[in-house]
Structure 1
Amino acid sequence: MFTSIDYEKFRTLRITHVATRFEELIADEANDELTPEQLFLTAIDDALEQRRANRIAALIRKAGFPIPTATIAELDYREGRGINPTRMRRYAAHNWSAEPVNLLINSPTGGGKTYLACAIGIAACQNQHDVAYTRMDELARKLVIARGDAIAHQRLLNELSDTDLLIIDDFLTVGIDPDAASDLFAILANREHRRPTVIASQSGPDYWVTALPDRVAADSIVNRLANNARTINLGDVDMRRQRAHQARQADTYWE
């Protein structure tokens, strides 16, 4: 068995997980017929998988998803929602860095846009992409606050410009001021042809042009978002109402 001195060496080499797993495998009588080489390679594979799982968990935490448990596997594919399992499996496996195509998710309020955006974003994290989630009103507020510090402001613009996948939810549900619109233009201009953006909104490009405060900037923003994009129209099914109804039917429901 390894000593404390051995583990200090392992920590120096950053292979503590390998050593711990190797020791566990040796101690398991079920592995008595395996060679030391086989046990060592198994320990290596297990440690690599643990490292991958830890990185994915960190990416999901960093992204800031409001529904961190959202998953493609739990999507509701009922008729009228505009999605199907084959298409969503493609999004789950998509290499966003290799194909920087934007995605627009549209539906009325309650249609499940946020859940779908989170599920796609979490799948991207599981493929080890760096993801940032924000609502449009939160983004505008962060940009306004950051403007008080030029260095912090530029750092925020750089982070949003360079993250592998940027998800902006509730896009233009409320208006934004000219400064925030200017920053949004800079972010999207920096991301164009480099990094994809997911937009979830109750409205579409025609409305966005009229809702943004500057018509020239609006044309440029909408052009960058919509002209290189796939679209998911979730239809009129109110998933929030459906979930509330299902909850009331459950045996554990009470009021």
Structure 2
Amino acid sequence: MFTSDDYEKFRALRVTHVATRFEELINDESYDQLTPERLFLTAVDDALDARRANRIEKLIRQAGFPIPTASIAEIDYREGRGINPNRMKRYASHDWKTEPTNLLISSPTGGGKTYLICAIGIAACEREHEVLYMRMDDLARKLVIARGDGIAHQDLLAKLANADLLIIDDFLTVGIDPNAASDLFAILADREHRLPTMIASQTGPDYWAQALPDRVAADSIVNRLANNARTIKLGEVDMRRQRSQEARQTGGFWE
């Protein structure tokens, strides 16, 4: 129906997807009863849906989640975990840019923190927020390395400061270099009251204040994270052990 010259025009107008979908609908007999106007509007809606799906897929990929299939719908709400479906639904539909409140998630090792923050982060991507996931030790290493190149260092700081939602996992599980701590202060100061940060840690603010190398910077970092934050304290259920035990009970498990 459309010629190659037609598609060149569509590309110039950036409506190639609409034209392709419109042609598919015209050739589909199940849509014969629709008017040309309705066919065209359906093609536009379908193209917009496809564009949005591609953007969400790209946002999830670029975020760097270690569990890119995590889902709010698949969270385990068994007794003792300290979370409930209603609260998670609120996080799934939360507009992080409109309400830049931090989220602090804590639990002992194996409590399922990483899955939870990935699920919440992916839900944010599905609402078309730009999310950036970093594990604390990897973040500290990148900051130290970037200091060797002034432009790269500023680019990294800007990227961390301007993500719609910044997620830092395993926060202060290991020590941090004073220079990296200084950079972390600059990032959080830039994000304060502007963009939210999500923290997952085995410890809490009292420990962070002691673990950070510079007391003044430590107080500022902890203050910025904790004083404008919601908290989730996961229970004592060791989800890593639970998953391992459940896997051993499946028919295909072998050792």
| TM-score of the two chains, using structure 2 as the length reference | 0.99
CA offsets, 1:196-231, max 9 Å, x none? 000000000010011000111101100100011000
CA offsets, 1:69-128, max 9 Å, x none? 001000000111111110000000000000000000000111000000000100000000
| Letter aligned with residue 74 of structure 2 | E
Hey, what's the Cα distance between the residues in 1 that align with 2:146 and 2:160? 13
Match of 1:94 in 2: 94
| Letter aligned with residue 148 of structure 1 | G
Match of 1:69 in 2: 69
Match of 2:225 in 1: 225
| Letter aligned with residue 83 of structure 1 | I
Match of 1:179 in 2: 179
Deviates more, 1:176-185 or 1:4-13: 4-13
Trace 1:140-179 onto structure 2 (pairs within 5 A): 140-179=140-179
Cα deviation for residue 18 of structure 1 reads 0.5
Cα deviation for residue 5 of structure 1 reads 1.1
Match of 1:25 in 2: 25
Q: Which secondary structure does the structure 1 equivalent of 2:51 belong to?
A: helix
Hey, what's the Cα distance between the residues in 2 that align with 1:29 and 1:246? 49
| Letter aligned with residue 69 of structure 1 | T
Match of 1:10 in 2: 10
Match of 1:197 in 2: 197
Hey, what's the Cα distance between the residues in 2 that align with 1:5 and 1:86? 53
Q: Number of paired residues?
A: 255
State the Cα RMSD in Å: 0.6
Gaps of 5+ in 2: none
Hey, what's the Cα distance between the residues in 2 that align with 1:47 and 1:188? 38
Hey, what's the Cα distance between the residues in 2 that align with 1:150 and 1:28? 57
| Letter aligned with residue 188 of structure 1 | L
Match of 1:81 in 2: 81
Match of 1:43 in 2: 43
Hey, what's the Cα distance between the residues in 2 that align with 1:225 and 1:250? 42
Give yes or no for the alignment of 1:107 onto 2:107.
yes
Q: Which secondary structure does the structure 2 equivalent of 1:141 belong to?
A: helix
| Letter aligned with residue 29 of structure 1 | E
Identical residues among aligned pairs (%): 78
Match of 1:215 in 2: 215
Gaps of 5+ in 1: none
